[in-house]
Structure 1
Amino acid sequence: MAIRPARANIDPASHEPSIPDEGLVIRDEDWYGKELTDADRYTRYSFLDTDWTEVVNEGAVFDECTFAGVKFNASRHTGAAFTNCTFKRCTFFDTGFTDCKLVGSLFRQCTFTLFEVSGGDWSFVGLPGADLRRAGFDGVRMREVDLTAARLEKATVTGTDLSGAMLHGSNLTGADLRGSDLSSLDPLTVEFKGAMISLEQAATIATTLGWHVG
């Protein structure tokens, strides 16, 4: 059996992550417009109340890091990694992630506006209760992602691997779900009025309800 990757503080009610020594804390810094590359690597750092507005991130690696009160507004991240990280009270306005790896990361009390994700691996990510209305996810690997009670009204979640996803209590009203794996979706536990799906996806959902599709 495959070993499931660890997810940083998977339970939103779990204890706060421990604060590392001061040498690993970046606090109140202005990174406006900063350019990051694959030469930039951070492990178990804490970024506290840092301004990442218009940061251009091309391949930087962050592992087991904590981001609290960080502004990611208008930042662009391409081929970067944020693995087993915790994001708390962060703002993502007009933020884009392209082909990034966020396996095992957790988002708590964050705001997402004009949020776009294209490609990459977001498996085992925790987004319980996240307000992702009108967000865009296209071609993303999101296996076993936690979207419990998440708000996805009019979101675009296309061509995305949601196998094993936790969707209980989520709101998918008016969402575009075409091309995504909906095998884990229980239509009795989600709101999905007006959602767009393909005929193949409709057959999958019907099978979940115990119907025989001929």
Structure 2
Amino acid sequence: MALLSLLAGVALGLSLAAPPGPMNALIANETVVRGWKAGFRAGLGAMAADAVFFGLAYGGVVAFLQHAPTLQAAMKVAGGVLLCYFAYGAARSAHAGAERTDSGAGFRKTFLAALTNPMQVVWWLTAGVALLDPGTVEAFGYALTVSNGALTIVGFFGGILIWITGFPATLRAAGEKVASLERVVGYASAVVLVAFGVLFVAGSLPVLL
């Protein structure tokens, strides 16, 4: 049962970290521009935001958001504008080449973007609350009955750590074989970020207007 709880936590962490979205676009862009360490640090920024969300869920703030649609909409606008700004930076880097300084920039980007990312908020309003449920964990559409507790939480953050370690490593390995990967990933990241940014802002307008 202890092993099952740990593995369920890992699956839950991967179900948050692995799906395509703006966070992985930011991690990918940091990786191809500044290297594996920068991509890993960007992943740590998103992971730190999840630690904040976990604390808020434990304190009941996430449950409060379930009944605050206006606040959720405002977060969508803030997150959407932030992603569009990051998209501009990614496109500019792909076009002209990025400065390889300020190694902490990726961490700050993903941390701020994750805190206002509606996808991340929705995950914590749904699947994420399973970390506080003593009996159920749902990941990738499958529900498991486990003895939740410290092991599940450790597994959850372990799953995220596995992803933010392996994903940049895979990109760097691919970059050594594809000379133009940096520019391709840079432009692709910009497209993904601006698409999600516009989607988030547009989705919030019916609530705010």
TM-score interval for Structure 1 and Structure 2 normalised by the shorter chain:
under 0.3
More strand by proportion, 1 or 2? 1
Q: TM-score, with normalisation over the residues of structure 1?
A: 0.19
Q: TM-score, with normalisation over the residues of structure 2?
A: 0.20
More helix by proportion, 1 or 2? 2
